Structure 1
Amino acid sequence: MNRTNYKLLFSMQARHAYFENKPHSFLRCSPSQATIALLARHAFILRQVQNGVQLYAETEASYDAYFDERAPLDFNIASTDPNFFNYTKLPTDFQGLLVYASEDELNQSNNESVTLHPRFVDQPDALKLGTLQIASASMKASFDTNSPGQFEIRFETRHTLWQYHIFGHGISQLNIRSIDGAADIPFSKAVETTLANGQNAWQLTSEFAIPLGIIKPKFQLTYTDIATTTKTVVLPNADPAKLAMTERNGEKRIVSPLYVYV
Structure 2
Amino acid sequence: MIRSGYKQIFQVKVLHSYFNDNVCSCLDFVPSDSTMKMMQRFGLILRSQIDGFSFYCSTKDSLINYLNYIEKVTNEISFNFNVHSKDIYFNLITDLPTNWLGTISFNSENKTNTFSKKGRELKGVFLKKDYTGSLARLEINFKDIVQLTQQNSVAEFVIKFKSRATQWQYYIINRSSVKLDNPKISSKTDMSFEGPFKTTIATGEEALLFTSGDHLIPLAESPNYKFSLINEAIKDDNSQNKRTSSKVILNGLPNPTPERIGFKVDTITKLVSSPMYVYI
TM-score normalised to structure 2 length? 0.83
**Unpaired runs of 5+ in structure 2?**
72-76, 234-244
Deviations 1:133-180 (A, max 9, x none): 0001111223345712101110001011111011222331111133x3
Amino acid at match of 1:6: Y
| CA–CA distance in structure 1, aligned partners of residues 140 and 45 of structure 2 | 15
Match for residue 243 of structure 1 among 262, 276, 279? 262
| CA–CA distance in structure 2, aligned partners of residues 246 and 223 of structure 1 | 31
| CA–CA distance in structure 1, aligned partners of residues 254 and 109 of structure 2 | 43
- What is the 5 A alignment of 1:104-123? 104-123=110-129
**C-alpha displacement at 1:43, in angstroms?**
1.6
TM-score normalised to structure 1 length? 0.89
| CA–CA distance in structure 2, aligned partners of residues 141 and 130 of structure 1 | 24
Structure whose CA Rg is larger? 2
Q: Which residue of 2 aligns with 1:102?
A: 108
- What is the 5 A alignment of 1:1-262? 1-61=1-61, 63=63, 64-70=65-71, 71-123=77-129, 125=131, 127-144=133-150, 147-168=153-174, 169-172=177-180, 173-178=182-187, 180-181=188-189, 184-207=190-213, 208-218=215-225, 219-223=227-231, 230-232=247-249, 233-241=251-259, 242-247=261-266, 250-262=268-280
Identity of aligned pairs, percent?
30
- Given the superposition, is the C-alpha separation of residues 176 and 3 from structure 1 closer, same or farther in structure 2, using an over 3 Å criterion? farther
> Segments of 4+ in structure 1 off by > 4 A?
none
| CA–CA distance in structure 1, aligned partners of residues 201 and 10 of structure 2 | 53
**C-alpha displacement at 1:24, in angstroms?**
4.8
Deviations 1:200-254 (A, max 9, x none): 22111111211111223512221269xx971251111012342232537x32221
- Given the superposition, is the C-alpha separation of residues 2 and 80 from structure 1 closer, same or farther in structure 2, using an over 3 Å criterion? closer
| CA–CA distance in structure 2, aligned partners of residues 206 and 146 of structure 1 | 44
Instruction: Let me know the Cα RMSD of the aligned residues.
Output: 2.3
- Given the superposition, is the C-alpha separation of residues 24 and 96 from structure 1 closer, same or farther in structure 2, using an over 3 Å criterion? closer
| CA–CA distance in structure 1, aligned partners of residues 131 and 121 of structure 2 | 24
Q: How many residues align?
A: 256
**C-alpha displacement at 1:126, in angstroms?**
5.9
| CA–CA distance in structure 2, aligned partners of residues 138 and 112 of structure 1 | 14
Tell me, what secondary structure is at the counterpart of 2:195?
coil
Deviations 1:69-112 (A, max 9, x none): 33210100111101100010011111111101111111111111
